[in-house]
Structure 1
């Protein structure tokens, strides 16, 4: 199934690498470039939700991921003001999905697993220490200018994918708007050694506690955990780092129990989406296309779903199984999933963990325990992450088309990542 079609992907994070692997498995010649010199090791995403496990399984990577991961079957929401704990257990949906659990391990380990599989395939390459500069597009190809240690180079391909993060150089080069807002606060991500298991903490735990909110998640089976929390945006980086010992003491169930701080990272948090995920022969994916706060893991999960759909749609176009409008469907559907599902859900989860109003806090607690105590609601909540996968181009575009036809309109997928309806009937 080899093809002479070439794809350049900017960004060697999970989104870029999974897209690359998916395309290479369909015979495309894929080159990944990244400005870094190696896989980054700082604290980043490390909880892999059920829909992500499905993608890894389809790529033949799930077993490798399982070997390095801690397994998570439970999610806790702890309302610290009242001392109550709401628990959801993924075993409630084992009859609905084979992925009734989460995996917990560092994003750098996932990159290693995907990269090893990618580079085993013919026509693949990864260029570290290579900076995207500009792109020129024609009807048939893209010419990508890059900067390397040896000097500037020009790479040619049929398609370019920007998976280079929220500060995407590809998106900026195309002058695509990144619509939305940036939160005032800064998120801190710390990796610590501490035995939260001893105190009954679930592998995924949220502390709803006003300004002292936190997300606490297991990283491995050796008592390494992630503690993420917020700091005032006006503080300097030095001040934020100096405050870590004081701040994380609030999150330990036994402050007298010893801990070890392994590493820490801070980052700005956004709720933004590109105005389009496709411009001609250039496509955006992951944080280059959209950015959300990390509470609930919906930003990272959305990026993996982008990679899955993009590799399938572009692979179908490359192998002449799909028409070009499959890429418009990708751009439309992935943007819809972010704006309608991931973005508002992440905003609401952030609000709930940080809520200070006592009346609203009680409402949140009552609503969550209504869910916990209702089997149907629990099962719906535990499988809702699969909605982030979006609708399938092959099956659902026809459904969208037929519904529009019944309404007396004609739908057309356009290169701006939207469906345009005219009032012409068939």
Structure 2
């Protein structure tokens, strides 16, 4: 298979722009296309866990990223059943890793910063307001038919990367299914200007409650915070928006004044593409997998997808490896999602929304016992690094795959990771 340097990246979200930037730094000729007219100016993901900070450092982006938002250390969980609060600090592992902190700023800020660096490199371009219509490939190239403001055009490349979100056009065009389920819950995200830090909150907080659960986190240095909570799926969007103030009052001090910057609802999913590679086309980020956002597993996994794909594809196009390394990328990132990110996100969601009083007390007891045991807590804080890929080795099919199969338990690689009766489908409906 040809090892040419021309790459098309579909999608200008974090996974897409980071992959494009990393490949361009390695000499690839990269074109990004995106259906939007510009970077979507919504914070969406806002928390950069330590493994993401390490990934940004690997790409030479961390020092600038640190200027975009606050660096913080603390996380706490409020247990509504008893009123107890559990706390942990990443400072506890500063002797184990230089990445013992969390960054806070919107993913659109990251995308803009990376795009500026990307476009400063040779052989790079971005095409806004461009919709992918069709993909064709052969042993020599991949051809993308796109709709642009100037009419339909054809783009040719050696490789195409789909990083175009959970409703990925690329994934559908290559015939990959998106197996899993959609949660019945509706999530609401309200961004407000209010200093939660003056009222017992740290920069990252989870409120464990079956009705009034919430994730409350600082977004940036401007005083903007996010309150994510559950809403009634039977209500219209207008009805949900009309209830924002009523719902926020549950977590705000009595009589508190705030400014609502924006609010919107969304549905969440647990899904994985059936394959992350088909020939000359590869998937990354939400195009490859989707998960509920509690715990940050989706965004964090997508950044690791980008880092691994940069390493593998640049090795191929610079003729340091054959394209078996791309099969490794597809295998390893899918394995990590199915075995780590997906079940972890489901467990975060369960603990946040658990309704059974006995299980709630057990969850609380386990959390408090963990925070009281320094060795166990240090292991827990370092566990986010297992989202990183293992290094490629040429005999991975005979060694690592066998090792993985030996370690698997029944149901471990089933999307969902739960005995839930939620209906499985092969695509978001």
Same fold (TM over 0.5): yes
Contact 1:42 1:264 in 2 (8 A): no
State the distance in 1 between where 2:397 and 2:378 align: 28
> More deviation in 263-272 or 299-308?
263-272
Q: CA deviation at 1:234?
A: 2.2
Q: Deviations over 1:141-182 (max 9, x none)?
A: 000000011110000000010000000001111221100000
> What is the aligned partner in structure 2 of residue 34 from structure 1?
34
> What is the aligned partner in structure 2 of residue 273 from structure 1?
272
Q: Deviations over 1:323-351 (max 9, x none)?
A: 21100000000000000000000000001
Q: Deviations over 1:224-248 (max 9, x none)?
A: 1111111122221111111111111
Contact 1:184 1:232 in 2 (8 A): no
State the distance in 2 between where 1:223 and 1:22 align: 32
Contact 2:48 2:103 in 1 (8 A): yes
Q: Are the structure 2 counterparts of residues 146 and 105 from structure 1 closer, same or farther at C-alpha, using a change threshold of 3 Å?
A: same
Q: Are the structure 2 counterparts of residues 145 and 399 from structure 1 closer, same or farther at C-alpha, using a change threshold of 3 Å?
A: closer
> What is the aligned partner in structure 1 of residue 358 from structure 2?
359
Contact 1:286 1:303 in 2 (8 A): yes
State the distance in 1 between where 2:56 and 2:199 align: 32
Q: What secondary structure is seen at the aligned counterpart in 1 of 2:349?
A: helix
Q: What secondary structure is seen at the aligned counterpart in 2 of 1:144?
A: strand
Aligned pairs (5 A) from 1:25-424: 25-252=25-252, 254-394=253-393, 398=395, 401-402=398-399
State the distance in 1 between where 2:49 and 2:354 align: 25
State the distance in 1 between where 2:28 and 2:45 align: 28
Contact 1:43 1:264 in 2 (8 A): no
State the distance in 1 between where 2:128 and 2:401 align: 47
What is the TM-score with the length of structure 1 in the denominator?
A: 0.92
Q: What secondary structure is seen at the aligned counterpart in 2 of 1:250?
A: coil
Contact 1:48 1:102 in 2 (8 A): yes
State the distance in 1 between where 2:236 and 2:169 align: 26
Contact 1:43 1:189 in 2 (8 A): no
Q: Deviations over 1:44-94 (max 9, x none)?
A: 000001111111111111111111111110010110221111111001000
State the distance in 1 between where 2:310 and 2:271 align: 23
Contact 1:298 1:342 in 2 (8 A): yes
Aligned length: 403
Q: Are the structure 2 counterparts of residues 42 and 399 from structure 1 closer, same or farther at C-alpha, using a change threshold of 3 Å?
A: closer
State the distance in 1 between where 2:213 and 2:398 align: 45
Contact 1:205 1:215 in 2 (8 A): yes
Q: CA deviation at 1:265?
A: 2.2
Contact 2:4 2:158 in 1 (8 A): no
> What is the aligned partner in structure 1 of residue 13 from structure 2?
13
State the distance in 2 between where 1:130 and 1:400 align: 38
Residue ranges of structure 1 left out of the alignment (5+ in a row) = 410-426
Q: CA deviation at 1:190?
A: 1.2
Q: CA RMSD in A?
A: 1.7
State the distance in 2 between where 1:190 and 1:403 align: 43
State the distance in 2 between where 1:250 and 1:390 align: 41
Q: CA deviation at 1:222?
A: 3.0
Contact 2:187 2:266 in 1 (8 A): yes
Q: What secondary structure is seen at the aligned counterpart in 2 of 1:167?
A: coil
Contact 1:29 1:124 in 2 (8 A): yes
Q: Are the structure 2 counterparts of residues 24 and 403 from structure 1 closer, same or farther at C-alpha, using a change threshold of 3 Å?
A: closer
What is the TM-score with the length of structure 2 in the denominator?
A: 0.91
State the distance in 1 between where 2:120 and 2:38 align: 18
Q: CA deviation at 1:402?
A: 4.2
State the distance in 1 between where 2:396 and 2:334 align: 18
State the distance in 1 between where 2:67 and 2:235 align: 40
Residue ranges of structure 2 left out of the alignment (5+ in a row) = 407-429
Q: CA deviation at 1:14?
A: 0.4
Q: CA deviation at 1:4?
A: 5.6
Contact 1:71 1:102 in 2 (8 A): yes
State the distance in 2 between where 1:7 and 1:273 align: 24
Q: Are the structure 2 counterparts of residues 404 and 357 from structure 1 closer, same or farther at C-alpha, using a change threshold of 3 Å?
A: closer
